[in-house]
Amino acid sequence: MSRVALICGGGQFPLVAARAAQKRGLDVFLLGLRGVASQEIEAFPHIWLAIGQLGAAFREISSRDIRNVCLIGGLGRPEFSDLRLDWGGIKRLPEIFSLLKGGDNHTLKGVIALFESEGLKVIGVDSLAPELLAAEGPMNRLPLPADLAEDLSLGRRCLGDLSAYDCGQALVVARRRIIAIEAVEGTDGMLARVAELREIGRWRAKGPAGLLVKAPKAGQDLRVDLPAIGPETVAAAARGGLRGLAVAAGKVLVLDRAEIAAQAESAGLFLYGFSTELPA
């Protein structure tokens, strides 16, 4: 692998990943989704495409003799009417219809299959730049408090059971009690709710309490759907009055790790990577 195409959704992740890949000596080529990806992708070799222009995407990639593709960055769930299909997209209409139904996992598996059917290899960010993922153990100088071990275990088991329903990558747990479970609102939306629940006294706890637990779903394809935390997540956790964040080591993007670990520490929050090799 010396060349890699990045299909870029929104946010900073595609840019950080592209820079990290370049640092490792890879030739990167960015395909920015119009209206979604940051203008800053233009700092790299790039083109712009509408969502659904599959024919153009495959053509541009193969004409550059690229075999590895990485799908990265945020992308709202497109409705069929959002798609600007080119002929390459229209040829694949039945697949596209079917992949827009069901949970996110189902949709993403379909997207991967579309690329693979063109002989491309879909790779994850972990192959491009493993340093962007959560480390194992404490990531700042605040350890995981011993009295939270049981809550972490409860949270991990609950997320594991929710996996079967293709929903829920995160939850907040405090003193054996599940305070909030994420579904469509996303982790930051859930954390904003936790802050509200405390404000209105619906969840009552003195001082910092509870922790965020975040992990991929079982069976989630980490190549295209890596859970992530960013500075907003840490800020939202602080506003929610949590004690810290526990994320699956090697399976959650932490961008930028050093920066976020420091941000958490100065907010008094631990940032811990739990090993998913060990049972919850």
Q: What are the residues binding a copy of itself (CB under 8 A)?
A: 76-77, 79, 101-103, 106, 154, 157-158, 161-162, 164-168, 171, 175-181, 183-186, 189, 193, 197, 201-204
- Supply the angle between the helices 186-199 and 231-239 in degrees, to the nearest 10: 20
Say if residues 230 and 199 touch (Cβ distance below 8 Å): no
Min dist CB 150 to a copy of itself, Å, is 11
Min dist CB 202 to a copy of itself, Å, is 6
Min dist CB 166 to a copy of itself, Å, is 7
Min dist CB 44 to a copy of itself, Å, is 29
Quick one: 135 or 183, whose CB is closer to a copy of itself? Answer: 183
The beta-strand segments (E) located in 175-277 are: 177-181, 211-214, 228-229, 244-248, 253-254, 270-274
Quick one: 198 or 251, whose CB is closer to a copy of itself? Answer: 198
Sequence-distant (≥ 6) Cβ neighbours of residue 105 within 8 angstroms = 166, 217, 219, 220, 221, 225
Quick one: 119 or 207, whose CB is closer to a copy of itself? Answer: 207
* Other beta carbons less than 10 A from residue 268's beta carbon: 12
Quick one: 24 or 177, whose CB is closer to a copy of itself? Answer: 177
